Amino acid sequence: LFAFIDGNWMNDLCIKMALHVYLGYRKDTCFIDTPFFSYTKPEHALLHDALATSFQGVSRFLVLPICFDNFHWCMILVDQRVGCRTMYQFDPLHLQCYYDRLDQSWRSYLKADLRSEYDPYKQERIIDLHQTDDYNCGIFILLFAMKHIKQISILATINANLNSLRLTLFM
């Protein structure tokens, strides 16, 4: 419960729980548990089998929250809707170093599974939500997913309302 208090970081379990709750276990959304990305090599066969299954049209959205260095949450969200296939990259801090790492994850783990389907995916970096502190990245990736998947309008976020939003979202 300490993770939900202002100033604390969200762990994997908090993020996973919140995404599942707020995405409502949607049948058109596949949540990909990414903590193991740090421990596997891109050529690992079992990993590719699991990801390839996700890309076989089963889900419209693929949600990949990624925590870099056990420190900062970012997200890749893939919209597989025919006609506008898009891979969204979101770093709440908008730092090039994290966008580079998201791009590396995309190319290393996902491109191989898409094979010939990779090229039709347009890549887009999301910059309309911006984190200004050093601990609310988990809140921001949750807001990003809700905005894009559930089409929920997100009001301007400032530190003052993030603290109350944190409690509202997780309690």
pLDDT, tens only, 123-161: 889 888 888 888 888 888 888 988 888 887 776 656 567
CB 21 within 8 A of CB 142: no
CATH of residue 78: 3.40.395.10
State yes or no: pLDDT of 67 exceeds 90. Answer: no
Q: Specify the residue for token string 């990414």.
A: 34
C-alpha span between 161 and 128 (Å, rounded): 17
Percent of the chain with pLDDT over 90: 11
State yes or no: pLDDT of 42 exceeds 60. Answer: no
Q: How many domains does the chain have?
A: 1
Q: What is the pLDDT of residues 83-105, one digit of tens each?
A: 788 889 999 999 999 999 988 87
Confidence of residue 47 (pLDDT cuts 50, 70, 90): low
H/E stretch holding 63 reads: strand 61-68
φ, ψ dihedrals at 125, nearest 5°: -95, 130
pTM above 0.75, yes or no: yes
Strand 122-125, strand 86-90: pairing: parallel
Range of the domain at 155: 2-170
